[in-house]
Amino acid sequence: MSQFDPAFLRGLTRPRLARSSAGGPARRDVLRLMGAAGAGLALSACGVKGQGGKEKVSQSDVEKYWAGKAKNGRLNWANWPGYMQDDRETIKAFEKETGVKVTYKEVIQEMGPWFGKIQAPLAAGQSIGFDLMVMTNGIQLEQCRQLGYLAPLDLSKLPNFQANAGPSFKNPSYDPGNAFTVPYESGVTGIAYNTKYVKEEITSIAQLFDPKYKGKVGMMGDSQELGNFGMFLLGIDPEKSTKADWEKAAAKLREQRDKGIVRKYYSQDYVDAVSKGDVWMTMAWSGDVYSLTSPDVKFVVPREGGTIWTDNLCVPKTAENPVDALTLMDWLFVPENNAPLTEFINYMPPIPATQKLIARKAEQAGGADKKDLTRLSTSPLIFPSQADLARLRHYRRLTQAEETEYQKIFEPISKGS
């Protein structure tokens, strides 16, 4: 005997067509309407307005930006790992002398991802949470300049920079007149090799292409680093290169990869790889080799040339404490303030006077300190000669159209295409 009313059982199996049609739209239609609304959005999603053309600044632009802005006694600083003493000695000295409280964060690992992170808030005119950041010259810095993401600097408030920066570090090609940046430290991209495995002297980029080292060579994945080395190999000056030059360089680099000579394309993780012998020879940055790799690893600037790049201090347009940022920028251009930083970082300082300070300190020091400081003050990796500097080239400054072409040519190489 069924415990349910027979009428109820009949209701379960018979669709209520009449009720549906009489009672308004069925559920299915509601979902269809939402889909239609979505389709409508497609028509309105017609692109983003261009924001370029802001890299030229006039004196009135500078005055307009800085008008009414005052020191707040606070500073949020974004930097790369390894670019400040572990005990933050330099920051503490700055805080003590100026009273500005600094929050320091090592949040920049690579320029591409960093730009990807800050681009949206800057485009929206919002703070990125930092008042000062360190950006390498290259594609992303140029994009920031053109998009107006950086505060135009008031050089009259940077007297130490004017007085002490070396001529090679003023008015750089990538930021004429230091409109938006002052240098923090510079470095050279050259070749690092592990003498435990490589028994000959390395002097040339051609050796990175030698089949003898098949599977033991590292290259950099960054398209501008990679492109420059391809061009150096062919005797092309990257700063004066053309699209045809890029294509020749790319073909050479693809040949190297397809012969299996390249084991991997690195960012900064080449340090571990070459120290441990995963690769025997690799593109590398001078300061990393000086201070981070194992003692077996040597660094050379190839005879064909090397890339000099500069990590620059710059102020995001939306900074909450821009005047404090300016204070720190100028403070770092006092040689006595820069020297401890260079002793730790081991990259190229923008202040030639630092060399004398470190040399004098070496004379007064004893034991291991004396040895370390003497090595530092006499190293051509930290204080290059004019002859060395003459062989170094920057990345080429690219217009937007050129950048698109450049990336299309070089970016796929490290991706295996």
Partner 1 sequence: MAGVRGRLAPYLMILPGGLWLAAFFLVPIVLMVSLSLQTGNLIDGFQQTLHWRNYTDGLSTYGDKFVRSLWYGLVATVACIVIAYPAAYWIAFRGGRAKSTYLFLLLLPYFVSFILRTVSWKLVLTDNGPILGPLRDHGVLPEGFHVLDTGVAVVSGLAYNFLPFMVLPIYVALERIDPRVVEAAYDLYASRAQAFLRVILPLSLPGVFAGVIMTFVPVSSDYVNAEVLGGPQNTMIGNVIQTEYFNNSAYPTASALSFALMAILLVGIFAYARTLGTQDVLEAAGR
Site size for partner 1 (CB under 8 A): 50
52 touches partner 1 (CB under 8 A) = yes
- The terminus-to-terminus CA distance of the chain in angstroms comes to 74
46 touches partner 1 (CB under 8 A) = yes
**Binding-residue pattern over the window 349 to 388 for partner 1, x denoting contact by CB under 8 A:** ----------------------------------------
103 touches partner 1 (CB under 8 A) = no
Least Cβ distance, residue 237 to partner 1 (angstroms) = 25
Among residues 14, 27, 96, 199, which is the contact residue for partner 1, using CB under 8 A?
27
Burial (CB count within 10 angstroms: exposed 0-12, middle 13-18, buried 19+), residue 310:
buried
Q: Which two tokens stand for residue 367?
A: 């034991």
Please state, in angstroms and rounded to a whole number, the distance separating the CA atoms of residues 146 and 139.
Answer: 11
Question: Across-strand partners of 312?
Answer: 135, 183
Nearer to partner 1, 51 or 103 (CB): 51
Nearer to partner 1, 158 or 297 (CB): 297
Nearer to partner 1, 162 or 268 (CB): 268
**Are the CB atoms for 291 and 376 separated by under 8 Å?**
no
Nearer to partner 1, 149 or 383 (CB): 149
Q: Which of residues 393-412 bind partner 1 (CB under 8 A)?
A: 400, 403-404, 407, 411-412
Q: Which range, of 4-12, 22-30, 82-90, 177-185, touches partner 1 by CB under 8 A?
A: 22-30
Among residues 9, 11, 16, 31, which is the contact residue for partner 1, using CB under 8 A?
31
Q: Which two tokens stand for residue 5?
A: 């009313």
Please state, in angstroms and rounded to a whole number, the distance separating the CA atoms of residues 118 and 126.
Answer: 10
Q: Is the dihedral of CA 360, 366, 370, 372 positive or negative?
A: negative
b/e for 276-295, b at 16 or more Cβ within 10 A?
Answer: eebbbbbbbbbbbbbebbee
Q: Which of residues 134-153 bind partner 1 (CB under 8 A)?
A: 143, 146-147
Q: Which of residues 268-287 bind partner 1 (CB under 8 A)?
A: 272, 276-278
Residue type, 51: Q
126 touches partner 1 (CB under 8 A) = no
Among residues 42, 67, 124, 387, which is the contact residue for partner 1, using CB under 8 A?
42
Residues 6+ apart with CB under 8 A from 322: 66, 69, 131, 151, 315
51 touches partner 1 (CB under 8 A) = yes
Residue type, 178: N
> H/E element holding 327?
helix 322-331
Distances (CA, A) of 142 to 137, 237, 240, 323: 7, 20, 17, 23
**Binding-residue pattern over the window 76 to 95 for partner 1, x denoting contact by CB under 8 A:** --------------------
> H/E element holding 259?
none
- Angle subtended by helix axes 367-378 and 353-364, to nearest 10: 160
Query: Looking at 164-242, which runs of residues are DSSP E strands?
Result: 181-194, 217-220
195 touches partner 1 (CB under 8 A) = no
Q: Which range, of 76-84, 109-117, 286-294, 303-311, touches partner 1 by CB under 8 A?
A: 109-117
Find the farthest-apart pair of alpha carbons in the chain and give their distance in angstroms, rounded.
108
Among residues 68, 125, 235, 416, which is the contact residue for partner 1, using CB under 8 A?
416
Among residues 265, 331, 333, 347, which is the contact residue for partner 1, using CB under 8 A?
265
Among residues 71, 95, 112, 379, which is the contact residue for partner 1, using CB under 8 A?
112
- Angle subtended by helix axes 243-258 and 223-233, to nearest 10: 90
Among residues 9, 11, 35, 206, which is the contact residue for partner 1, using CB under 8 A?
35
Q: Which two tokens stand for residue 393?
A: 């080239």
Least Cβ distance, residue 371 to partner 1 (angstroms) = 29
313 touches partner 1 (CB under 8 A) = no
Among residues 9, 11, 16, 30, which is the contact residue for partner 1, using CB under 8 A?
30
Burial (CB count within 10 angstroms: exposed 0-12, middle 13-18, buried 19+), residue 352:
middle
Residues that bind partner 1 (CB under 8 A): 23-24, 27, 30-31, 34-35, 37-39, 41-42, 45-53, 110, 112-113, 115-116, 119, 143, 146-147, 215, 257, 262-265, 272, 276-278, 400, 403-404, 407, 411-412, 414-417
